[in-house]
Amino acid sequence: MSQNRRTLINAAMAAPLVAAIGAPTRLLAASTYTLKLATDAPAGHPVNNAMNAAAQGIKSASNGQVILQVFSNNQLGSSTDLIGQVRAGAIQLLSTPTSVLSALVPAAGICGVGFAFHDYDSVWNAMDGDLGAYIRAQIAKSDLYAIDRIQDNGFRQITTSTKPIKALSDLQGLKIRVPVSPLWTSLFAALQAAPTSINFSELYSALQARVVDGQENALPIINSGRLYEVQKFVSVTNHMWDGYWVVANTTALNTLPANLRAIVEQHLRAAIMNQRAEIATLNRSLQAKLQSDGMAFNAVDTSTFRAALSKAGFYANWKSRFGDEAWALLERYSGKLV
């Protein structure tokens, strides 16, 4: 066999082998993952600012392998609908208030016990410490994974369209919107108001149509939800603290390669800490802004409120519902409640 002929035959035999070797290189090109994250917070609220910042960081750090799509303002359904969607895997992540999550995981609501926290130091010591760890363990029992830091929704204030709340007696019979949460309903019932559970997506229209005369939320929500257009008075009660847990469908999160999952968690955690700082800045400036929008602020002596809750059996009832272990963790930071 001539040298030229042998070379041609060898080349022909090698060609399929080269093709076979080259094929896996194309098949092993980096996979991409798209994750949907939903919130009920209005566009422009620090919750969404943080999640959008996380999305940018995740995309950059993963070289485009992970795309986090953020859907704000109940675009994908009501607050309670979104809980079902993340459990079913229709969405992969959810930033949700403790008040909403407590419908599925009752322990998530314990941080909202009335007048439990006196200041932010006690909040963060509890939620970044053993109380937060306890809550996350309960969340995990529902096949959801919670990022180990919680976003700040703030201390909640009462707003009304009819009259300011200056004393406990002003709450009597007040038609007030509360989240779809037994804890919130029982608190205002114990204060002799008339609470009505309404999803946040329906709150503005309910206030506008006078289905309810008041509501309670932190100042950043009052501002970003434009509630100053349908409410007149802000009574500074600081009656509850609430946060947003970022939870993930456990199965969906486990499909990510370990290095990409680490990137997702790292950037979500960093965004949460930045969100807390943004809320702190807003808390220092929003009263003046809302006053310029026509809202009138008044201070409230809430000592009688807490006494009324004790007398009505509110604390004793919720201690029995949350259980001794969870209640003991709460009282490490709140002091004795019962």
User: CB within 8 A of 7, min separation 6: which ones?
Assistant: none
Tell me, what's the pLDDT at 338? 80
Mean pLDDT, rounded, for 6-21: 42
Mean pLDDT, rounded, for 195-208: 95
**Structure tokens given for 30:** 């980096």
Tell me, what's the pLDDT at 6? 47
Query: What's the CA gap between 281 and 208, in Å, rounded?
Result: 29
Query: What's the CA gap between 213 and 235, in Å, rounded?
Result: 14
Tell me, what's the pLDDT at 215? 98
Helices 120-127/130-140 angle, 10° precision: 50
CATH of 33-334, one of 3.90.1150.10, 3.40.1160.10, 3.40.190.170, 1.10.1660.10: 3.40.190.170
The mean pLDDT value of the chain amounts to: 92
DSSP string for 194-232: EEEE--GGGHHHHHHTTS-SEEEE-HHHHHHTTGGGT--
In the block, residue with structure tokens 């022909």: 12
**Structure tokens given for 44:** 């422009």
pLDDT tens by residue, 82-99: 999 999 999 999 999 999
Give yes or no for residue 76 having a pLDDT over 50: yes
Q: Where are the domains positioned within the chain? A: 33-334
Identify the weakest region by mean pLDDT among 39-43, 55-59, 127-131, 132-136. Answer: 39-43
Query: What's the CA gap between 251 and 166, in Å, rounded?
Result: 49
Task: Give the residue among 166, 172, 198 at the shortest CA–CA distance from 185.
Answer: 198
Using an 8 Å Cβ cutoff, are 234 and 228 in contact?
no
Our measurement of the distance from residue 166's CA atom to the centroid of its chain's CA atoms, rounded to an integer in Å, reads 30
DSSP string for 286-320: HHHHHHHTT-EEEE--THHHHHHHHHTTHHHHHHH
Give yes or no for residue 8 having a pLDDT over 90: no
